[in-house]
Amino acid sequence: MSLTSYKTLGKSGLRVSPLCLGTMTFGEDWGWGASAQESEKMIHAYTERGGNFIDTANIYTNNHSEKIIGDVLGKSSSLRTRMVVATKFANNVFPGNPNTGGTGNKSLITNLEHSLRRLQTDYIDVYWIHSWDFLTPMEETMRSLDNAVKSGKILYIGISDAPAWKIAQANTAAMLNDWTPFIGLQIEYSLLQRTVEDELVPMALELGLGITPWSPLKGGLLSGKYNRANNGKVGGGLQARNGDMILTEKQLAIIDELERVVEVHETTPAAIALSWVNNKSGVTSTIIGVRTLKQLEDNIAATDIHLSADEIASLDKLSSPPLTFLSEYKDLIPVMQHGGIEINGFKPAAAPIMADIQPGKY
């Protein structure tokens, strides 16, 4: 696999690279990002390797991320034609204005126009809701997004950071009203964040939403910089923002296993962690956030790694998320329903509670 091993995003014909260039790090406005010059170099390095999917948001580095991308794309119409440009709205970048945050019609139109101007483009390829707005009726948001698609200013829509039930409700309403449905789902997903597998991932698989994980290295914890020896006490981006942290034994065990697998593949922990998440069921394109060209190259190396079944199983076991009510009860359902009968290749043990039940006894 490489950056040119394109995949279609969800139920659409939009082809995207298996790694998406995330740009929350573009711009130094938040105190820890890349300069405009370094960001431009990373865009060109990514596209020269065949990458075609770039993701930003109106709020990233106080609008600067969008502007940096626009300044690069604005120089070359052919590059803009090649690139799949995605941005987001919902977060408020106009302090004090109540109608420029959330997903109401006025907020959508205002933020879309500003993003188009900063990105120096006539249309957005994928417009994401950054987070669900529980104050705005779902029908208003979906109708407004559909109007923007029909106007030609948006080609596709996606949803990030929202409950599974709300996403399913919105896409069902879109189907019933002939509105544009979501084709993509952005969620935090990594070896250190797998609770999304409880409802969000199965929902995406059922509805045909292409998953684009963010923070696949858990804010740098899986980058190789943090390990059992330093136990999280390392200077840099994550620690500068959050202070020294003490890693849990579970986190350290996962990092230990990453380091073991690294030796086998002669690569980096970041590449192994990215390869793991990029091969999870339903994942279309994993968003990588980088500040330097070296980090970009280290991340792209993940496309050349083929983890063995044993390596995947070991990482899966160590990173298994805590059970929720649904995931815990789900294991009991086939025991109760199958009655010990093999169905679709799976034969659960008979439930002890049913052992003495006799057919026709009552």
Q: Which residues are catalytic?
A: 60
Residue 140 in contact with residue 109, Cβ under 8 Å?
A: no
Residue 279 in contact with residue 311, Cβ under 8 Å?
A: no
First to last CA, the chain: 59
Specify which residues 16 forms β-bridges with.
Answer: 7
Helices 64-73 and 105-119: crossing angle, nearest 10°? 50
Residue count (the chain): 362
**Which has the closest alpha carbon to 155: 127, 121, 191?**
127
DSSP 187: E
**Which has the closest alpha carbon to 285: 358, 348, 216?**
216
Q: Rounded distance, CA 362 to CA 359, Å?
A: 8
DSSP 356: T
What are the E-state strand segments in 142-189?
Answer: 154-160, 182-188
Residue 350 in contact with residue 335, Cβ under 8 Å?
A: yes
DSSP 63: G
Return all residues near 55 (Cβ < 8 A) that are at least 6 apart: 20, 21, 22, 23, 86, 87, 212, 287
Pairing of strands 286-289, 210-214: unpaired
Under DSSP, is residue 161 helix (H, G, I), strand (E, B) or coil? coil
